[in-house]
């Protein structure tokens, strides 16, 4: 560990990975509890398709990725009233379409394949200090919004009837949650890649839910799990010369299995 802290680019990668992991793990608690895990996957894929389109057309990848992701947010936040075409169906179509478009856009660009592969698998070692500051600001703003409006978010997500009775417009708070999630995914993917972002959104939250039933404990365990996975995965990848992103995800899975075993012993 001390060796990593002495290497500048590894120190930046560790800091950036911890910030992204904490942000995604915090939001991931709500993603898992709302049962919209597939929304996270779909938004991540839409964001990747935006990067591929930008590389194909020469546009700015960050701007186009964010624009398409917010478009996905607008579509996914609307609850379908049709029994034939459910919200899950819309999300599935968006995921499949975005995946196909990403491949097609890459096929039309000679230099996009390597770049998009980097976006999909992620290269946490290329994080810049500017990206670290940007993600730190995004994390601080997300935590501030949740601290100020925690009641509205919780009621709109888990008890919309009580929310309406209390004068809380659940649909607007749902939209705000999706916007925060979409922005976080779009920027995080540009920093650590699709694989690591989706893993951070799901695995730490599931790990925490196996070990705690109180929100404070769930948040703490999810963020702690993401932090431990980031540090341990980075150290292991450095020592064993392994890809960093997949190593972090694999360590997250090990923690999940350990949490599952612990929960069985405690039950």
pTM, whole model, 2 decimals?
A: 0.85
Query: Can you tell me the distance from the alpha carbon of 219 to that of 213, in angstroms, rounded to the nearest whole number?
Result: 10
The alpha carbon of 77 is separated from its chain's Cα centroid by a whole number of angstroms, namely: 17
Segment 3-12, tens digit of pLDDT: 666 777 778 8
Which range among 6-20, 135-149, 155-169, 219-233 shows the weakest confidence by mean pLDDT? 155-169
DSSP H or E segment with residue 224: helix 215-240
Q: Is the pLDDT of residue 187 over 60?
A: yes
Query: Can you tell me the distance from the alpha carbon of 39 to that of 18, in angstroms, rounded to the nearest whole number?
Result: 23
Q: Summarize the confidence of residues 195-218 as an average pLDDT.
A: 91
Crossing angle, helix 194-211 and helix 112-121, to 10 degrees? 10
Band of the pLDDT at 142, cuts 50, 70, 90? very high
**List of residues 6+ apart from 93 with CB closer than 8 A:** none
Q: Summarize the confidence of residues 145-166 as an average pLDDT.
A: 77
Segment 75-104, tens digit of pLDDT: 777 665 556 667 777 788 888 888 888 778
Q: Is the pLDDT of residue 225 over 90?
A: yes
Band of the pLDDT at 128, cuts 50, 70, 90? confident
Query: Can you tell me the distance from the alpha carbon of 77 to that of 40, in angstroms, rounded to the nearest whole number?
Result: 12
CATH 3.90.1640.30 fits 2-266, yes or no: no
Query: Can you tell me the distance from the alpha carbon of 79 to that of 187, in angstroms, rounded to the nearest whole number?
Result: 25
**Residue 157 has what pLDDT?**
72
- If you count them, how many residues does the chain have? 267
Nearest C-alpha neighbor of 174 from the set 90, 73, 89, 82: 73
Segment 27-64, tens digit of pLDDT: 999 888 888 888 888 888 888 788 778 777 777 777 88
The alpha carbon of 215 is separated from its chain's Cα centroid by a whole number of angstroms, namely: 19
Spatial contact of 27 and 180, defined as CB atoms under 8 Å apart = yes
């Amino acid at each position: 560990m001390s060796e990593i802290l002495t290497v500048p680019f590894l120190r930046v990668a560790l800091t950036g990975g911890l910030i992204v992991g904490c942000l995604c793990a915090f939001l991931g608690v709500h993603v898992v509890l709302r049962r919209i895990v597939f929304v996270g996957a779909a938004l991540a894929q839409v964001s990747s398709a935006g990067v591929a389109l930008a590389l194909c057309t020469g546009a700015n990848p960050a701007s186009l990725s964010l624009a398409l992701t917010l478009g996905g947010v607008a579509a996914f936040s609307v609850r379908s009233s049709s029994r034939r075409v459910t919200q899950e169906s819309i999300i599935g179509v968006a995921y499949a379409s975005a995946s196909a478009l990403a491949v097609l856009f890459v096929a039309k660009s000679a230099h996009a394949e390597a770049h998009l592969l980097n976006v999909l698998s992620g290269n946490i070692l290329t994080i810049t200090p500017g990206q670290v500051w940007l993600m730190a600001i995004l994390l601080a703003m997300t935590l501030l919004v949740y601290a100020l409006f925690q009641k509205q978010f919780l009621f709109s997500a888990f008890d919309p009837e009580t929310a309406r009775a209390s004068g809380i417009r659940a649909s607007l708070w749902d939209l705000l949650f999706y916007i925060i999630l979409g922005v976080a995914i779009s920027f995080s993917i540009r920093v650590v890649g699709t694989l690591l972002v989706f893993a951070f959104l799901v695995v730490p939250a599931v790990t925490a839910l196996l070990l705690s039933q109180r929100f404070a404990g769930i948040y703490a365990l999810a963020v702690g799990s993401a932090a431990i996975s980031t540090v341990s995965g980075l150290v292991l990848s450095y020592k064993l010369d392994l890809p960093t992103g997949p190593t972090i995800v694999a360590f997250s899975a090990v923690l999940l299995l350990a949490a599952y075993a612990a929960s069985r012993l405690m039950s």
